[in-house]
Structure 1
């Protein structure tokens, strides 16, 4: 049976409760563009995607073209709020205290944003230098590039890595890389049917509390994925 050797964490929505903050900023500023969207719906539909990917989908839905200046303004405001308002997901530090295995972060957020928000909640030093941004690596999730990069860095086979993800896109990318995946539904943007959606995307099991993750990692060491 594959024994876990590497734990890969998504950041936004897994370690930091940031998806709702980003969605609120996006909706607030899009109203100035004449587009009225609900932040909870936006977070549910687009959690895990990059801002350019979200914009592309919204352009297809609405026909509206967003300027580069607008996109940069949204990014800047999200960074500002994450640096002052973001909070860790409950139990993040305690969970990490119980996990001795090698770990890293694989995220679609930029390297600068990851350092900003992780430092704000005191998690940066618990992962650096192994905080990987898909923007620097290759294609963003749901493509597997960032997970494959992490496997290469640590010289670990995919079946020996466990990924903790809150988004369908993240689960799909991790599974495409061959990793085992645990879904997470404990952030503020979680929604009815969230756990089912993660399971359908390929998560072996789903948890809603980070306190449960160390036990799940132990169980997965003896549980062969079918």
Structure 2
């Protein structure tokens, strides 16, 4: 019997690589530095899964244009440092990918992250080459606001 599944599409952050806890810590740090102390729940609600552009849209009304840009700049810097200090694939991912390899299903990544960010995080965990040529970013798609 043929499988109705022809393609497995992975998100990157929090699915392939454990960046969610890193992002949470970074957001808490930046908020404290810029005078907007946040709780973990607030960070999850306001920032998790968002692009830098979306983060700036959240910060701007509260802290202004300059702080919104500073927030994004610091996020990129601190996140990169934390990833370099120790990022790992999500627990169980290696086994799950090995199981998929046995099925011969096609795989790809579709993420809200930029190609640069994914090259960095996936590269640090040894996953970039596995998905090379099949990595897609929301930056490739026109953004519309409804």
**1:35 is the counterpart of 2:36:** yes
**Structure 1 residue 42 displacement after superposition:** 1.1
**Structure 1 residue 106 displacement after superposition:** 0.6
Map 1:104-115; keep pairs closer than 5 Å: 104-115=108-119
Partner of 1:64: 63
Q: Could you tell me whether the CA contact under 8 Å between 2:59 and 2:68 is conserved in 1?
A: no
Higher relative contact order (CA 8 A, sep 6+): 2
Stretches of structure 2 that go unaligned for 5 or more consecutive residues are none
Q: Output one character per residue of 1:196-222: Cα deviation in whole Å (capped at 9) or x when no partner.
A: xxxxxxxxxxxxxxxxxxxxxxxxxxx
Q: TM-score, normalised by structure 2?
A: 0.82
Root-mean-square deviation (Å) = 2.4
**Structure 1 residue 40 displacement after superposition:** 4.8
**Structure 1 residue 120 displacement after superposition:** 1.1
**1:132 is the counterpart of 2:136:** yes
**Structure 1 residue 111 displacement after superposition:** 0.8
Partner of 1:75: 76
Structure number having the greater helix percentage = 2
Aligned equivalents of 2:49, 2:69: Cα separation in 1: 21
**Structure 1 residue 19 displacement after superposition:** 1.1
Aligned equivalents of 2:19, 2:76: Cα separation in 1: 13
Q: TM-score, normalised by structure 1?
A: 0.55
| Count of aligned positions | 139
Q: Could you tell me whether the CA contact under 8 Å between 2:24 and 2:40 is conserved in 1?
A: yes
Runs of 4 or more consecutive aligned structure 1 residues displaced over 4 Å after TM superposition: none
Partner of 1:118: 122
Partner of 1:171: none
Which range moves more in the overlay, 106-115 or 69-78? 69-78
Aligned equivalents of 1:4, 1:21: Cα separation in 2: 33
